[in-house]
């Protein structure tokens, strides 16, 4: 036996601990993640609370109080004051009604499409399935932009849309407000429910249906009693997701609502921020955040409840494809109409408008490339076409720089969260990181942007004010996209497990070697997806950055908005076309490289 002459002093213990950390820095990574994410995720919410219930400098004199003392003034102003109705209650009511209508429309459309394409023998289902995802890839306000281009009228916009040029003056209700906002939102959101219903329908196990047939149920009964109940989770999820997106979206209501003062919650918040009413804006943001959280909590509850619907085997239900018979022709026509309205028409409108001197006139002498490559366009106060325009080039460069950094940061943090979660699976740290990284998902985008503005508008302790810097945009985007990155990272790491790394550990590889020579190469594909997806989302992000991009650092998306404000519709459309083009190329590349597509970033079981 071995003699026990070992040193057991505290110093020795500490020395051994340090030695272990050098050998395996996972605890350090976990610590840094916990601290940084706590600040970046919970910080903004706390800042909202603090600003919303404290007297702001500008109101100190009026309230006869000192800056920073506790107050419910802003709360009262939002909920019960002369301005409450126009600033809060009416926008709230409109937002809720609009969410419900959008929800109904998108879910119906998505469901019908999914049913036709997955469950029937409709021809061309592959082609149509791919095309139906396009509206999901385009920025959500693309439709609003196309709508304006088509339907805007002189009375409100001061210039003619294509319809008016063609001789039909669209009434206000058709050009602006509730109707167009709802329609365009439906067209940008139905792919979500299409994808969710489609994958649920595909994963319904044929054997479940077949056994129902064996015990004597007719086809119709099987559909009603076996298949439909299994779609409940998809229904709940897509519905709630759509509500959350509608509440959080800014571009569409701004483009189509603001010209006629049709205010929704998001645009009301925008107004408050524009007017510099920080306290008020904080309360409004809190309300939006709370509604968003409530909606997603309901979703989580139902998804949990619906676990029993989850089917393991995905044998594909192609054998059970319904024969359309004489309905085949109407079905195909329906698909083509949807495709035309959701993809072809908006894209064509945008594209055509950028090569027409006056929109809506289709003749050769009306053709121009000025909006792309012209210099000093006379109609536009001497501005150059977008490919030669220093403002556009600068904003494009900003977008690319910012979004590149965001992709790397989001992808990186996601990977590390996955790494720590798997190494410390079942521990409190893993659980905390998981919940923390999920939180940004349930905060509506507009509220998230506003909360970041609030947190970083002033210096807080050692952390300087970041307002007006790229760093702020980068931080906000990285954290907002974190849920997707973290989920991808965790899933990949879970699948990999710890054993390949441990095998390397035993072979004597230090941590850097293990991480970069074993873990990263094996997960290459997933990591590429984790980096490209934030890039794509970032390129088309408008809502999140609307409060964060200052005139000094325009992004392509905010540049679009700026041009709309100036009435330069063609330039706005051209920039949008470029954004869509870049996104499409990236999506295709991603599909080529990884064999998976944009849809893998979606939620789903």
Partner 1 sequence: MAEIHIRNLVKKFQGNVTAVDSLSLSIADGEFVSFLGPSGCGKTTTLRMLAGLEEPTSGEILLDDHVLFSSSTGEYTPPEKRGMGLVFQSYALWPHMTVWENIRFGLIQQKVPKEEQQERIKAVIKLLQIEGLEKRYSFQISGGQQQRVALARMLALRPNTLLLDEPLSNLDAQLRIEMRSELKRLHERLRNTTIFVTHDQLEAMTLSTRIAVMRDGKLQQYGTPMEIYRKPANLFVAKFVGSPPVNIITEELAPQLFASAQKHLGRRAAHARKIAFRPESMVINPPTDADDRRWHMKGSVAAILPTGPEWILQIESESVLLFARMDTEPKFSTGDNCTISIESEAMLMFDEAEARLD
Footprint of partner 1 (CB under 8 A): 1-2, 6-8, 12-14, 16-17, 19-20, 23-24, 426-428, 497, 499-500, 502-510, 513, 517-518, 521-522, 524
Residue with Cβ nearer partner 1 (1 or 312)? 1
Strand partners, 383: 377
Alpha carbons within 13 angstroms on the beta-carbon side of residue 407 total 18
Minimum Å gap between C-beta 368 and partner 1 is: 53
Among 408, 428, 388, 412, which residue's Cα sits nearest to residue 575? 388
Instruction: State how far the Cα of 467 lies from the Cα of 414, in Å rounded to an integer.
Output: 26
Minimum Å gap between C-beta 216 and partner 1 is: 40
Q: Supply the DSSP string of 519-539, one letter for each residue.
A: IHHHTHHHHHHHHHHHHHHHH
Q: Name the residue with tokens 């005139």.
A: 551
Residue with Cβ nearer partner 1 (36 or 503)? 503
Using an 8 Å Cβ cutoff, are 583 and 137 in contact? yes
Minimum Å gap between C-beta 8 and partner 1 is: 5
Strands (DSSP E) contained in 263-404 are none
Residue with Cβ nearer partner 1 (305 or 502)? 502
Minimum Å gap between C-beta 92 and partner 1 is: 44
Instruction: Supply φ then ψ for residue 489, to 5 degrees.
Output: -60, -45
Q: Name the residue with tokens 């061309």.
A: 124
Instruction: State how far the Cα of 169 lies from the Cα of 155, in Å rounded to an integer.
Output: 10
Q: Name the residue with tokens 């018979």.
A: 325
Structure tokens at 602: 């979606």
Residue with Cβ nearer partner 1 (66 or 507)? 507
Using an 8 Å Cβ cutoff, are 75 and 68 in contact? no
Residue with Cβ nearer partner 1 (160 or 522)? 522
Minimum Å gap between C-beta 42 and partner 1 is: 24
Residue with Cβ nearer partner 1 (502 or 565)? 502
Strands (DSSP E) contained in 548-598 are none
Structure tokens at 397: 């460069």
Minimum Å gap between C-beta 567 and partner 1 is: 55
Minimum Å gap between C-beta 12 and partner 1 is: 6
Minimum Å gap between C-beta 532 and partner 1 is: 20
Minimum Å gap between C-beta 431 and partner 1 is: 10
Using an 8 Å Cβ cutoff, are 494 and 417 in contact? no
Residue with Cβ nearer partner 1 (308 or 426)? 426
Among 399, 394, 396, 347, which residue's Cα sits nearest to residue 541? 399
Instruction: State how far the Cα of 284 lies from the Cα of 289, in Å rounded to an integer.
Output: 9
Residue with Cβ nearer partner 1 (229 or 497)? 497
Instruction: State how far the Cα of 45 lies from the Cα of 288, in Å rounded to an integer.
Output: 12
The three-class DSSP label of residue 322 is strand
Instruction: State how far the Cα of 560 lies from the Cα of 100, in Å rounded to an integer.
Output: 29
Minimum Å gap between C-beta 317 and partner 1 is: 29
**What distance lies between CA 16 and its chain's CA centroid?**
46
Residue with Cβ nearer partner 1 (470 or 505)? 505
Cβ count near 68 (within 10 Å): 12
Residue with Cβ nearer partner 1 (7 or 365)? 7
């Amino acid at each position: 036996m071995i003699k026990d002459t070992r040193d057991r002093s505290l110093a020795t213990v500490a020395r051994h601990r340090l030695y272990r950390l050098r050998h395996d820095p996972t605890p350090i990574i976990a610590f840094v993640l916990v601290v940084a994410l706590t600040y970046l995720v919970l910080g903004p919410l706390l800042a909202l609370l603090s600003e919303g219930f404290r007297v702001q400098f500008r109101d100190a004199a009026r309230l006869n109080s000192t800056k920073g003392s506790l107050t419910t003034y802003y709360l009262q102003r939002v909920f019960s004051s002369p301005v409450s109705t126009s600033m809060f209650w009416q926008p709230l009511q409109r937002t809720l009604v609009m969410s419900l209508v959008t929800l109904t429309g998108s879910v119906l459309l998505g469901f019908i499409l999914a049913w036709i394409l997955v469950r029937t023998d409709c021809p061309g289902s592959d082609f149509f399935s791919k095309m139906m995802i396009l509206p999901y890839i385009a920025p959500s306000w693309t439709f609003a932009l196309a709508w304006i281009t088509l339907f805007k009228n002189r009375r409100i916009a001061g210039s003619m849309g294509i319809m008016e040029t063609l001789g039909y003056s669209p009434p206000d209700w058709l050009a602006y407000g509730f109707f167009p906002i709802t329609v365009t939102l439906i067209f940008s959101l139905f792919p979500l429910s299409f994808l969710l219903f489609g994958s649920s329908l595909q994963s319904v196990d044929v054997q479940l249906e077949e056994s129902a047939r064996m015990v004597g149920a007719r086809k119709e009964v099987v559909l009603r009693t076996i298949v439909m109940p299994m779609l409940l989770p998809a229904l709940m999820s897509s519905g709630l997701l759509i509500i959350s997106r509608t509440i959080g979206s800014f571009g569409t209501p701004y483009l189509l609502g603001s010209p006629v003062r049709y205010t929704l919650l998001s645009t009301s918040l925008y107004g408050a921020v524009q007017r510099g009413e920080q306290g008020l804006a904080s309360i409004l943001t809190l309300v939006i955040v709370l509604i968003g959280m409530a909606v997603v909590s309901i979703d989580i509850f139902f998804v949990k409840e619906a676990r029993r619907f989850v089917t393991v085997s995905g044998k594909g239900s192609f054998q059970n494809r319904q024969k359309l018979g004489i309905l085949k022709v109407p079905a195909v026509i329906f698909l083509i109409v949807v495709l035309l309205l959701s993809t072809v028409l908006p894209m064509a409108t945008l594209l055509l408008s950028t090569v027409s001197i006056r929109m809506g006139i289709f003749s050769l002498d009306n053709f121009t490339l000025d909006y792309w490559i012209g210099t000093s366009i006379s109609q536009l106060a001497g501005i150059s076409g977008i490919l030669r325009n220093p403002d556009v080039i600068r904003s494009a460069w900003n977008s690319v720089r910012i979004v590149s950094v965001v992709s790397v940061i989001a992808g990186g943090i996601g990977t590390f969260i996955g790494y720590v979660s798997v190494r410390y699976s079942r521990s409190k740290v893993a659980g905390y990181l998981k919940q923390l990284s999920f939180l940004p998902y349930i905060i509506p985008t507009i509220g998230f942007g506003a909360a970041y503005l609030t947190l970083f508008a002033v210096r807080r302790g050692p952390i300087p004010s970041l307002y007006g810097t790229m760093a702020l945009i980068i931080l906000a985007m990285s954290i907002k996209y974190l849920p997707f990155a973290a989920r991808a990272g965790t899933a990949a790491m879970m699948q990999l497990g710890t054993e390949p790394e441990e095998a390397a550990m035993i072979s004597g590889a230090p941590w850097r070697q293990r991480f970069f020579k074993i873990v990263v190469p094996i997960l290459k594909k997933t990591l590429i997806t984790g980096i490209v997806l934030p890039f794509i989302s970032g390129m088309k992000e408008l809502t999140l950055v609307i409060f964060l991009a200052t005139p000094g650092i325009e992004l392509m998306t905010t540049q679009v908005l700026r041009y709309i404000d100036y009435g330069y519709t063609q330039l706005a459309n051209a920039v949008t076309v470029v954004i869509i083009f870049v996104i499409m190329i990236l999506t295709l590349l991603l599909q080529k490289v990884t064999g998976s597509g944009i849809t893998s970033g979606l939620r789903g079981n």
